[in-house]
Amino acid sequence: VQLQASGGGLVQAGGSLRLSCAASGRASSRYGMGWFRQAPGKEREFVAAISSSGGSTNYAVSVKGRFTISRDNAKNTLYLQMNSLKPDDTAVYYCAAGGSIATDAAWYTLWGQGTQVTVSS
């Protein structure tokens, strides 16, 4: 399974973006999947995760209520709808696949290449 993230860009504070992560291979529907982000000079941090069926989700406190993770297994695609964006959300966003919806990046074995999100104030 390979992952390809897209949808990043430049947006003003308060705006919205939707990230997508296309997974090659039908086996992707067996994986829990997540989004992580890394800002310049900072460590990679957990954003959100979703179970293989889509029935369970997990969010970082900093994005809960603003971001929504979802997936379409028929299209082998993971999404992250980001609303009410803040300058602090500026980072490279990575999608990942693993066996759970853990917040620890070590649980994820497959990673996409990242897409840049920049939020201007």
The whole-number pLDDT of residue 87 equals: 97
Q: Cα–Cα distance between 89 and 5 in angstroms, integer?
A: 17
The whole-number pLDDT of residue 26 equals: 64
Cα–Cα distances (Å) from 56 to 34, 75, 92, 98, in that order, read 12, 19, 24, 14
Cα–Cα distances (Å) from 69 to 41, 61, 73, 92, 121, in that order, read 26, 14, 13, 17, 24
Cβ–Cβ under 8 Å, residues 35 and 57 = no
Average pLDDT over residues 99-113: 90
Which residues, 6 or more positions from 98, have their beta carbon under 8 angstroms from its beta carbon? 31, 32, 33, 34, 107, 108, 109, 110
- The 10s digit of each residue's pLDDT in 14-49 is 999 999 999 987 677 888 999 999 999 999 999 999
Residue at 22: amino acid letter = A
* Collapsed DSSP state (helix, strand, coil) of residue 106: helix
pLDDT for residue 88 is more than 80: yes
* Collapsed DSSP state (helix, strand, coil) of residue 70: strand
